[in-house]
Amino acid sequence: MNAQNLIYDRFISPLQKPRSNYIGIEIEMPVVNLSGEKTDKSVSIAAVNKAIKHFSFTPQKFDDDGICHEALCDDTGDVFSFDCSYNNFEISLGRVRTLHEAQARFREYVSFINGELNQQNHTLTGMGINPNYKINDFNFVPSPRYRMLEGYLKKCEIWKGVFHPFYGYGTFSSASQVQLDVTAENICETIEAFSLTEPLKAVMFANSYFPEKPELLCARDYFWEQSPHGINPRNLGFFEPLPKSVSEITEYLSKASIFCTERDGKYLFFYPVPFEEYLKRNTVSGEYYDGDYHTCSFTPKAEDIAYLRTYKQIDLTARGTLEYRSACTQPLGEAMTVAAFHLGLMNRTKELSDLLKNSFLYQENEKPAQLRQKMNRADFLSFVNADELKVLLNEVLQLCSGGLRERGYSEEIYLSPLFERANTLTSPSCYLLQQNDVKKVIKEYASL
């Protein structure tokens, strides 16, 4: 079993198929109890169940109590799901051609669901951290996959490492992710360009202020990197060094770690093992949930490549796409900003790289990872000149706007909030801190 051959077949071969240039958008949203008390999961479940019926979705997955936690629209491919917990609702839009199509469906869904939730003093809102996280239940959805994930993340209490204590972060943190087609010919150029952009994204998209880490505007990075997912740095963060060829990507991913698989209908998790090493082992000791967590031994198989998953800021998927994962959920009225930003720059990667490499940002030969850490801080203006930063952000957004205009659908309108953020250097997290009124911001960020 050759790790690099398996990785090539799963992740690189799809890049060589004809590209459709569809857009994939996933938006997670916290379900917030407006009274300031913990989210009532019966309220969130009831509201989504009504939406499933109203929009003629088909229930797909049920938890151990028979509750539907995932449903599919056969016509559009859209999916409703609860991500990790019943406090965190996700809309995964089926492939769309334009952002207008995505916006129309997203607004229709959220408007209906919030109409139901508001009757019970709850709401979906565009915040990357559920503001009631301290009192909400940390319970994961009681289903095989989430039982596995909960057991794995709880190992932060046992395994040695620099782990934070918030193993349940998936139950109260929400992200906005976009998938776009890429080819074998342009994948390295694309990864480089968007990696260079990550520090600027921290300035514009940060929306997960976490009072336990007040120095950060985007706690999302911290949650992932200092959890068991971060044991092997190749599984998240940045490609370091940036790959120059497809063979360097396959070599890099062969040393990323696998931490779960399935045997006999049971999800197993185990201490993460670099994939090429995993394939050489005779047995691996894992755990599975069956009323409680039990240990077992199993033999690795080549087919386990299906469970090798990284969670990088820019992630290569098995669908022939790059998934951009570093943005928090945005205020719901500005939900398409994340997709618009990446879509507009997809065909401008050479210009984007040249612009950023020659900017003040990279004059000291700093790496994107270190720069993102600096720009993610609440005191980021102590590291850079504000006027220079505003100019650079506007230059990137103008490049992005040109890419969207070239598509011919007038999608550049979705960039308007980003120009405002660039000119004021105010992310949604910054705005929250300026207002110092969480209840007001919850309602503002819930507005369509």
- Is a pLDDT exceeding 80 seen at residue 1? no
In the chain, what percentage of residues exceed pLDDT 70? 100
Of 100, 104, 59, 98, give the one whose Cα is nearest residue 80: 59
Neighbours of 10 (CB within 10 A): 17
Three-state DSSP state, 329 = coil
Q: Which pLDDT score is estimated for 432? A: 97
Integer Cα distance of 297 and 268 in angstroms: 10
Please give the average per-residue pLDDT across 72-95, as a whole number: 97
pLDDT at 138: 87
Band of pLDDT at residue 161, cut at 50, 70 and 90: confident
Nearest alpha carbon to residue 400 among 201, 183, 164: 201
pLDDT reported for residue 376: 97
Asked whether 305 and 183 are in contact (CB, 8 A), the reply is no
The pLDDT assigned to 20 comes to 84
| pLDDT value at residue 445 | 98
Contact 88, 31 (CB under 8 A): yes
Record the pTM. 0.97
Q: Mean pLDDT across the stretch 82-92?
A: 98
Average pLDDT of every residue of the chain: 97
CA 162-88-160 angle, to 5 degrees, is 15
Residue in the block written with tokens 């051959």? 5
CATH of domain 11-244+311-446: 3.30.590.20
Mean pLDDT of 407-426: 98
> In the predicted model, is pLDDT for residue 179 greater than 90?
yes
Which has the closest alpha carbon to 401: 390, 388, 393, 412? Answer: 412
Position 186 pLDDT exceeds 90 = yes
- The single-letter code of the amino acid at 18 is P
pLDDT score for 365 = 84
Number of C-alpha atoms within 13 angstroms, CB side, residue 226?
12
Q: What is the pLDDT of residue 21?
A: 86
Q: What pLDDT does residue 433 have? A: 96
| pLDDT value of position 266 | 95
pLDDT tens, 253-282? 999 999 999 999 999 999 999 999 999 999
The β-bridge relationship of strands 236-237 and 79-82 is unpaired
Q: What is the DSSP letter of 242?
A: P
Quickly state the pLDDT bin for 436 (edges 50, 70, 90). Answer: confident
Structure tokens at 44: 């969130």
The 10s digit of each residue's pLDDT in 117-133 is: 999 999 999 999 999 99
Mean pLDDT of 340-357: 97
Over residues 423-434, mean pLDDT = 97
What was the pLDDT predicted at 172? Answer: 97
Local confidence band at 8 (pLDDT 50, 70, 90 cut-offs): very high
Share of the chain above pLDDT 90, in %: 96
Average the pLDDT over 45-65 and give the result: 98
pLDDT tens track for 133-146: 999 998 999 999 99
Burial 28-45 (b: 16+ CB within 10 A, else e): bbbbbbbeeebbbbebbb
